[in-house]
């Protein structure tokens, strides 16, 4: 985080997601990459990423859950603060949107991450199920095949999540 923030001259936010969030919360010991979203985009930081990757021997990717699913309304306000380095604030990308994205992909590791989010109280399963229903309605309105596919997958995941919540 310090290496990325050292390049910034203007204030901004960097959102960490996926494996980076999992490592910082102790759900995993390591990750193969650090997925980040920079808001607003910052040319100095973008140009510095290849050098940071090489120097720290870590793969840094520009990626977020919003690349795969529509972000849930209010995601920025729900993005948990991690730390501030210089003029950059680091946050976890909203755990509800992360969970939605992970449920859509449904990889084993992703499902374990969602379970950890619920276990650690970062995601309430009932609230996520409601958000999934709202998100599905939003996704269906988007005019792309991928969004319709995501909506169908998320509807199934939402139903499964609601059942899990009822069992807890």
pLDDT at 46: 92
| Residues 109-157: tens digit of each pLDDT | 999 999 999 999 999 988 888 877 765 544 444 434 344 444 444 444 5
pLDDT at residue 89 in the model: 97
DSSP the chain: -HHHHTT--S-EEEEEETHHHHHHTTS-S--SEEEEEEES--HHHHHHHHHHHHHHT-EEEE--GGGTSPPPTTHHHHS-EEEEETTEEEEE--HHHHHHHHHHH--HHHHHHHHHHHHTTSS-HHHHHHHHHHHHHHHHHS-SHHHHHHHHHHHHHHHHHHHHHHH-
The winner for highest mean pLDDT among 22-36, 43-57, 149-163 is: 22-36
């Amino acid at each position: 985080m310090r290496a990325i923030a050292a390049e910034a001259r203007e204030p901004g936010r960097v959102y960490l997601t996926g494996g980076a969030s999992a490592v910082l919360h102790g759900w995993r010991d390591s990750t193969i990459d650090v997925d980040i979203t920079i808001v607003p985009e910052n040319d100095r930081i973008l140009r510095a990423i290849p050098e940071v990757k090489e120097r720290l021997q870590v793969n840094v990717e520009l990626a977020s859950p919003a690349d795969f699913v529509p972000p849930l309304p209010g995601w920025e306000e729900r993005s948990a603060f991690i730390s501030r380095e210089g003029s950059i604030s680091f946050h976890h990308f909203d755990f509800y949107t992360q969970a939605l994205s992970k449920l859509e992909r449904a990889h084993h590791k992703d499902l374990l991450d969602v379970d950890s989010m619920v276990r650690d109280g970062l995601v309430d399963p009932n609230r996520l199920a409601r958000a999934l229903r709202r998100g599905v309605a939003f996704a269906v309105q988007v005019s792309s095949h991928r969004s319709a596919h995501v909506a169908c997958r998320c509807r199934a995941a939402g139903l499964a999540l609601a059942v899990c919540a009822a069992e807890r």
